Structure 1
Amino acid sequence: MKLLILIHSLQSGGAERVSASMANHWEEAGWTVTVLTLTSNARDFYKVNAGVQRVALNVAGDSRNALSAVNNNFQRVRAIRRELKKREPDVAVAMMSTANILLALAAIGLKGVRIIGSERTYPPRIPLGRAWEAMRAYLYGQLDTVVALTQESASWLHQHTRAREVAVIPNAVTWPLPIHDPYLPTPDRTDGSHILLAVGRMSEEKGFDLLIRAFHALAPDFPTWRLVILGDGVDRQALEAQTVLTGLESRISLPGRSGNVGQWYAAADLYALTSRFEGFPNTLIEAMSYGLPVVSFDCDTGPRDIIRHEIDGLLVPAGNGAALEHSLRRLMENKALRDQFGAKANEVKQRFSIESVSKMWENYFGLES
C-alpha cells in the first residue's frame, strides 16, 4: 500500500500532529508513506519515522496581489501533481481546506489513485474568502471522499459543497506523547501546589483571555493553584499584558511551546479548554489520556463528542464565564471528584485509539476493515 499525505507544514498544530502520527502508524504497518508539505522542513515541529518519505516542496509563502496568488497556486498544483506522478500512490490524503483544493486540482485526470480530502475545523467558523469558498464548493466534488471530524461538519459539507461522500472520523489520541525539542522542565511540586493546565496556539479563538479572567476570580480562594498555558502565537503579548493586570504574574505562567507536553499533562491536576470554536481538540483527548479531569466550553465542534459530561469531565455553555468559574471551582476544591473523573478520562485511550481510528480511514482507502 502506497500512501501520500499532503499538508501545508509539520509545524506545531493539531492537524500537523495527526498527520505525523498517522504517517508513522502506517509506516510501521509496512506501508510506503510519503508526507508532502508546501513549506520547507526547516521548521518541522513534529517528526516522522526515518522510514517515512519526507518531501518538502518549499512552495509556500504569501502572495503580493491577486495575479501573484494565481501564479503561486498554479506552481503549487504543478508541484503536487509532479509528486503524484512520481510516487504513484494508491491513496492521497490532504489535510485542511486549501490543501484539499490543491490536491483536487493536482489529481484531475490521474488514474489509479484514490483522492481524499479532510476538513480539520468546523468550516463556517473559519471562512476561506470568496474565491477559495467557491473552489471548495465545486472541487470537493472531485474528491472520492471528504473526511469530517464531527457530524456537524459533515452536515455543513453536505449542504454547502458538491462532496459525493462525507465520512466522519475523529482524531486518534497518541499516548504516550513523544518527547522532542523544545524541552520545558515541569515545575517542582514538593511545595504542595496544584496546576490548572491549558495548551494551544495563542490566538483569539482559543479563548485563553477567558481562562485568565476565570482564574483571576478564583485565585483568592485557591492560593495553592497555578495556571500554566503552554503554546505560542500572535496573542502572546496581549495575554502577557492581561496577566500583569491581574497581579498574578507569580501564579500565571506562559512558558511557550513544549516538546514534552505529555510530561506537563502528567504533572497537572486539572485541564481547561476555553476555545470559542474548535474542530476536534487534540489537546483535550491528550490531557484525558493522561488521566486529567477536564472542564471545557461546549463550543462548536468536538468537545461534546469527547467529554462524557459528569463522567470524565464537565461541559460548560460556550463563552459563559460564570459557568466556567463554577465548574473549575467544583473540581479545584474536590480532589475526590478530580480523581473520579480522571480515572474515567483515561478511557479515551481506547475510545480514540490509533488502531481503531486508522481502521476507519482504511475503510475509505478501499481496504477491508
Structure 2
Amino acid sequence: MAGAERMTATIGNSLAALGHHVTILSLWDTASQFPLHPAVRHEAVFDRRPSFKRAYFATLAGIRRHCIAHRIDVLVQVDTMLELFVRPATLGLGLHHIAWEHCHFDEDLGKPARRLARRLAARFCRQVVVLTERDRHRWLEALRPRSEVVCLPNPLPFPMPAAPAPRAHKTVLAMGRLVPAKGFDVLLRAWQTVAAEEPEWQLVVHGEGEERPDLMALIRELGLQGSASLPGVCHDPLQTYGQASVFCLSSRYEGFGLVLIEAMAFGLPIVSTDCDTGPRELLSPGDDALVVATDNADALAGALLTVIRQPELAASLGASGRHKASAFALERIALQWDGLVRAPG
C-alpha cells in the first residue's frame, strides 16, 4: 500500500487509457492493492517474497521471460534499486530503460547498494525520472549522468475535487506508512500539547506499518486514547480528506509527499515539517502551509494550534494550496509520461 505502488497503478492505468499495452511485473505479490485498468496485465516473478540473494538468478530469469513473452519495448523500473536486477536480466534485448526514483538522492533507505544502482541508472538508462527539481539538480551535480534526468512530479491520483472540503469537523488528519521516516511519534508528542489545550479536536492517522505497536503504546503512554486514533489504511481518500479540517505531515524525510497535494486539492490548510525534498519544493511557507523544523514536537504543536485557533489563516492557507494542487492534475502528467515512453532512441 505504499506510494510507489500507488503511483505505478495510477500511471500504468493512465498509459493504458492512452492506448499503450501496459504490464506491471511485481517481484512478488500476485495481487495489486490498487485498482487497475482492465487493459493492464499484472504478474509477479514469485508468489511470495524470496531471499533475493539466494534467488538472484531466478529473479533475472523471471524478468527476462516476462520481457520476451510480452514483447516489452519500454521498461520502467519503479525504484532505482531495480537496476541491479533489470540491467543484467535484459542484456541484448534493446529495451528503452527508464529508472523512476521515488526517494531523494541523499537517502539510501539503509541500503548502500542503492548508491551503486543510481550510478548504473545514471549511466545506462535512457531517462531517470525524479519527483522534484531539487532532486534533479542533485543527480546532475553528483553523478554527471549520461542519462537524461527528467523531473516529473507525482500526479493527483483522483480528479480535482469540484469543491473544497467543508472543514466542519474538528479533525487533524495525517496519512502515511507507520514507519520511523513519517515522524508519527513526534506528531503524537505534539498532539499531547494540542489535546490539552483544544480537547474537542481529534487526530486521525491513516496508514499501516511496522511501527503500529510502538505508536499504539505511545498513545497509551501519553494518555491520548480519547483524542488520537490509528484506523489503518485509508480505502476512501475522498471521504477521509473531506471530513478533515487540517492536514499535518510530520515526516523526517520525503521523496515527494503526495499526501500534501491530495490535501491541498481539498483546500485543507497544511502544517508540515521542513524536510527534504518534496515539502521544501511543494510548499510556500506562510502562503499555503505553516512549516516547522523536523523532530520538533513543540514547534509542530505550536503550528497546529495556530491553524486551529485562526480560522481566517486556515482558510487562506487552504485556498492557496488548492490553487497550487490544480497544477498536478493526472491528465497533464500522464501526457508527459506518454511523451517520455514514446521518446525515440
Q: Does 1:13 align with 2:2?
A: yes
Matched AA of 2:261: I
CA distance in structure 2 between the aligned counterparts of 1:161 and 1:74, rounded to whole angstroms: 31
1:260 to 1:339, Cα distance in 2 relative to 1, 3 A: same
Q: Does 1:27 align with 2:16?
A: yes
- TM-superposition CA deviations, 1:117-146 (whole Å, max 9, x none): 011001332345344533442354121111
- TM-superposition CA deviations, 1:189-245 (whole Å, max 9, x none): 9xx750011001111110001111111012122121010111111111111111111
Which of 89-98 and 135-144 deviates more?
135-144
Which of 294-303 and 336-345 deviates more?
336-345
Q: Does 1:38 align with 2:27?
A: yes
What does 1:20-99 align with in structure 2 at a 5 Å threshold? 20-42=9-31, 44-58=32-46, 61-63=49-51, 69=53, 71-99=54-82
Q: How far is the alpha carbon of 1:169 from its aligned partner? A: 1.2
Which of 96-105 and 212-221 deviates more?
96-105
Does the 8 A contact of 2:171 with 2:204 survive in 1? Answer: yes
Q: Secondary structure at the match of 2:216?
A: helix
Does the 8 A contact of 1:316 with 1:327 survive in 2? Answer: yes
Task: Indicate which of 150, 164, 184 corresponds to 1:208.
Answer: 184
Q: Does 1:174 align with 2:154?
A: no
Does the 8 A contact of 1:149 with 1:279 survive in 2? Answer: yes
Equivalent residue number for residue 163 of structure 2: none
Equivalent residue number for residue 185 of structure 1: none
What does 1:338-357 align with in structure 2 at a 5 Å threshold? 338-357=314-333
Equivalent residue number for residue 250 of structure 2: 274
Q: How far is the alpha carbon of 1:254 from its aligned partner? A: 0.8
CA distance in structure 2 between the aligned counterparts of 1:245 and 1:96, rounded to whole angstroms: 37
CA distance in structure 1 between the aligned counterparts of 2:191 and 2:43, rounded to whole angstroms: 44
Q: How far is the alpha carbon of 1:82 from its aligned partner? A: 1.4
1:237 to 1:127, Cα distance in 2 relative to 1, 3 A: closer
Q: Secondary structure at the match of 2:254?
A: coil
Q: Secondary structure at the match of 2:22?
A: strand
Does the 8 A contact of 1:94 with 1:117 survive in 2? Answer: yes
- TM-superposition CA deviations, 1:340-368 (whole Å, max 9, x none): 22222222442111122223323432459
Equivalent residue number for residue 219 of structure 1: 195
Q: Does 1:129 align with 2:117?
A: no
1:129 to 1:230, Cα distance in 2 relative to 1, 3 A: closer
Q: Secondary structure at the match of 1:36?
A: strand
Equivalent residue number for residue 127 of structure 2: 145
CA distance in structure 1 between the aligned counterparts of 2:308 and 2:112, rounded to whole angstroms: 46
CA distance in structure 2 between the aligned counterparts of 1:101 and 1:120, rounded to whole angstroms: 16
CA distance in structure 1 between the aligned counterparts of 2:112 and 2:282, rounded to whole angstroms: 33
Q: Relative contact order (alpha carbons < 8 A, sep ≥ 6): 1 or 2 greater?
A: 2
Unaligned runs of 5+ in 2: 161-166
Does the 8 A contact of 1:34 with 1:54 survive in 2? Answer: yes
Q: Secondary structure at the match of 2:99?
A: strand
Q: How far is the alpha carbon of 1:311 from its aligned partner? A: 2.0
Q: Secondary structure at the match of 2:37?
A: coil
Equivalent residue number for residue 315 of structure 1: 291
1:135 to 1:268, Cα distance in 2 relative to 1, 3 A: closer
CA distance in structure 2 between the aligned counterparts of 1:194 and 1:252, rounded to whole angstroms: 12
Equivalent residue number for residue 251 of structure 1: 227
Equivalent residue number for residue 334 of structure 2: 358
Q: Secondary structure at the match of 2:271?
A: strand
Q: How far is the alpha carbon of 1:162 from its aligned partner? A: 4.8
CA distance in structure 2 between the aligned counterparts of 1:128 and 1:101, rounded to whole angstroms: 16
State the superposition RMSD in angstroms: 2.3
CA distance in structure 2 between the aligned counterparts of 1:287 and 1:197, rounded to whole angstroms: 9
Does the 8 A contact of 1:216 with 1:246 survive in 2? Answer: yes
Q: How far is the alpha carbon of 1:84 from its aligned partner? A: 1.3
Does the 8 A contact of 1:195 with 1:270 survive in 2? Answer: yes
1:239 to 1:161, Cα distance in 2 relative to 1, 3 A: farther
CA distance in structure 1 between the aligned counterparts of 2:60 and 2:329, rounded to whole angstroms: 34
| % identical equivalent positions | 31
CA distance in structure 2 between the aligned counterparts of 1:36 and 1:361, rounded to whole angstroms: 18
Aligned residues: 338
